[in-house]
Chains A and B, each alone.
Chain A
């Protein structure tokens, strides 16, 4: 019984952590390439969830089968959120690329507030019910109460997405161009890399990941509102910093550590203090390992 409870918490933490990791990857990739904390990233996550909700509702009314709805809502969320991410970069960050580092940061916060209020006005301030896109199905009886099918789907999809991302970054030309740009932007330009394209691509990939995260979480929680991006964004940012911002394996590790900490601490200590545990962990890491778990020393960049 004790062990089963632990496994329940453990898997819960794993699911939560993988979602944090998915969103944290967007933060960390953008930071790696342009050295900017994209505070509007949480809003992209929220926009992804809204897009999926709208598309799923329309398709349900039109009587599409469940599988088609899931696929099309997911794709629409990815495309729409990517378009937002791409535009946000062009509008809010690109003009400030040569400005002092504080300027794009403030621009990012502004963008975050703008997008929240834009959805608030365009939609509503109330929570909207979100359809269960991932159906409950029976498997692994009688242990399915430890991990339900939606959670399992979240785990499986995040693992697949992360493998895909690793492949892109390690082996494709675009991935190499991204790594080159992150290491030395001027030099990347001198060997003919179009840095603007690389930056746009980074935002598009990060936004796609956030959109997938948004849809998965919304489907599990069953409701969304315009403010969900805030907490998700802050948690993912915490995960990215935990792991060492700029480091891709770090974002995954940070997400998992954060999810696990929250899950175990709420399970064994008190569920009232979920966020306290998360941010206390952040404080501890910042004190004892400021560069994050897998972060490098930042002194090398001048």
Chain B
């Protein structure tokens, strides 16, 4: 695999008034990697995600997205929907499905930016639009099969069990055909079996779909199993980076976690 930089973040800084939530954070991800971003609560991990996906406009630093076939694109100040269009999307810590829509509709919504017709022409019932709609539905079903949710397609999202809702979020994100998928605590609130299933799913997404993954996670077992490289943040700054082995033995990391042996893997 030739290395190609998918995400290149340089000296990313985010100030909220007088509070510096991110302080010159650097991070790069190569194509096909699974990278984890860890750190104690309040370290700025989610703020990092929010800056990178365009929800916040960073106050300093630069973000480049590569892997789109063109030269890297600078993302600072670009709107989230445009960033999704360029090939990066995310999930949230708390589940943010469109609860009152069906499972299938949730995925179809994500699929629409990859259709030719655009949202206005779908109002017409021209044959081309109808064909496209059918393709959207087929694509959505395929994705649901990949996450084992095809049987639930016409159920409201809110009626799914917790672990299934999480997987649906991932399916919806995948529907936008991302080159890079950001997962914010995908295993939060999951039981061990569900976590194991998630582990397999994330690997599958990377191996079969070729989607690069960056995840925030507190479940150290999952992080150590899954990720090839880890970034550690504390108080808004990057404090360490390396393979899971490096990180496990890094004194700065152990100190950041208040000296506790939380790494039990």
Q: In the complex, what distance in Å separates the CA atom of A173 from the CA atom of B105? A: 10
Asked whether B96 lies within 8 Å of A192 as measured between CB atoms, the reply is no
Q: Shortest Cβ distance from B16 into chain A, in angstroms?
A: 15
A173 to B123, CA, bound (A): 7
- Inside 8 A of A176's CB, which chain B residues have their CB? 101, 105, 108-109, 112
User: In whole Å, how far is A299's beta carbon from the nearest beta carbon of chain B?
Assistant: 15
- In the complex, the answer to whether A187 meets B96 with C-beta atoms within 8 Å is yes
Q: Is B90 an interface residue (CB 8 A)?
A: yes
B119: interface (CB < 8 Å): yes
Contact of A189 with B120 at beta-carbon distance under 8 Å, contacts A173-B112, A183-B100 already known = no
Whether the Cβ atoms of A174 and B84 lie closer than 8 Å is: no
Contact A172 B123 (CB under 8 A): yes
A179/B123 in contact, CB under 8 A: no
Question: Which A-chain residue is minimally distant from B133 (CB atoms)?
Answer: A173
Tell me the interface secondary structure of chain A in the complex: helix
Q: Kindly identify which residue among A191, A195, A197, A201 contacts B109, using a CB–CB cutoff of 8 Å.
A: A191
Quick check: A186 and B80 within 8 Å, CB to CB? yes
Q: B200 interface residue, CB < 8 Å from A?
A: no
**In the complex, residue of chain A having the shortest beta-carbon distance to the beta carbon of B122:** A173
In the complex, A24→B79 CA distance in Å? 32
- A190 an interface residue at 8 Å Cβ cutoff? yes
| Interface residue tally for chain B (C-beta within 8 Å) | 33
* B-chain residues with CB within 8 Å of residue A188 when the two chains form the complex: 81, 109
- Which size class do A's interface residues fall under? 20 to 34
Residue contact B98 to A179, C-beta cutoff 8 Å: yes
Neighbour of A192 across the interface among B84, B122, B123, CB < 8 A? B84
State the CA gap A176–B111 with chains docked (Å). Answer: 12
Q: Which of B68-107 contact A (CB under 8 A)?
A: 79-81, 84-85, 89-90, 92, 96, 98-101, 105
The listed residue (B54, B100, B123, B173) touching A168 by CB distance below 8 A is: B123
Q: Does B218 contact A (CB under 8 A)?
A: no
Please encode chain A, from 163 to 174, with 1 for each CB lying within 8 Å of some chain B CB and 0 for all others: 000001000111
Partner of B120, one of A174, A180, A183, A192: A174
User: Which A residue sits closest to B182, measured CB to CB?
Assistant: A190
Bound complex: CA of A189 vs CA of B54, how far in Å?
10
Who on chain B is nearest to A179 by CB?
A: B101
Query: Which residues 140-180 of A sit at the B interface, judged by CB distance below 8 A?
Result: 168, 172-174, 176-177, 179-180
Distance A174 CA – B119 CA, assembled complex (angstroms): 5
Docked CA distance A295–B33 (Å): 46
Q: Which residues of B contact A186 (CB under 8 A)?
A: 55, 80, 96
Instruction: For B99, give its contact among A177, A183, A201 (CB under 8 Å).
Output: A183
Instruction: List residues of chain A with CB within 8 A of the CB of B44.
Output: none
In this complex, the member of A173, A180, A201 whose beta carbon has the largest number of chain B beta carbons within 10 angstroms is A173
Contacts known (A176-B101, A180-B98, A186-B55); A191 close to B108, Cβ less than 8 A = no
Known A172-B122, A174-B123, A186-B55; judge A191-B110 contact (CB<8 A).
yes
CB distance from B95 to the nearest CB of A (A): 10
Compute how far the CA of A135 lies from the CA of B59 in the bound complex, rounded to whole angstroms.
64
- B53 closest partner in A (C-beta): A190
* Contact B119 A197, beta carbon cutoff 8 Å: yes
- Report yes or no: A192 in contact with B176, Cβ–Cβ below 8 A: yes
Q: Are A184 and B98 in contact (CB under 8 A)?
A: yes
- Asked if B172 lies at the interface with its beta carbon under 8 angstroms from chain A, I say yes
Give min CB distance, A250 to chain B, whole Å: 14
Interface residues of A in 186-225 (CB under 8 A from B): 186-195, 197-198, 201
B-chain residues with CB within 8 Å of residue A168 when the two chains form the complex: 123
Known: A172-B122, A174-B122. A192 touches B110 (CB 8 A): yes
Which of A177, A180, A188 has the most chain B CB atoms inside 10 A of its CB?
A180
Cα–Cα distance between A172 and B118 once the two chains are bound (Å):
11
Tell me the smallest distance from the CB of B156 to a CB of chain A, in Å: 12
User: Which residues on B sit within 8 Å (CB–CB) of A187?
Assistant: 92, 96, 98
Residues in A neighbouring B175, C-beta threshold 8 A: 191
> Complex formed: what's the CA distance from A184 to B98 in Å?
7
Please, how many angstroms separate the alpha-carbon atoms of A197 and B112 in the complex? 14
> Can you name 26 A-B residue pairings with CB atoms under 8 Å?
A172-B122, A173-B112, A173-B115, A173-B122, A174-B122, A176-B105, A176-B108, A176-B109, A176-B112, A179-B98, A179-B100, A180-B109, A183-B99, A183-B100, A184-B96, A184-B98, A189-B79, A189-B80, A190-B84, A191-B172, A192-B85, A192-B89, A192-B110, A192-B176, A193-B81, A198-B119
Sample of 19 more A-B contacts, CB < 8 Å, known A180-B98, A183-B98: A172-B123, A174-B119, A174-B120, A176-B105, A176-B112, A179-B100, A180-B109, A184-B96, A186-B80, A186-B96, A187-B98, A189-B54, A191-B89, A191-B109, A191-B175, A191-B176, A192-B110, A195-B81, A198-B119
A-B pairs, top 7 by smallest CB distance, nearest first, are: A192-B113, A192-B84, A189-B80, A173-B122, A191-B110, A189-B81, A187-B96
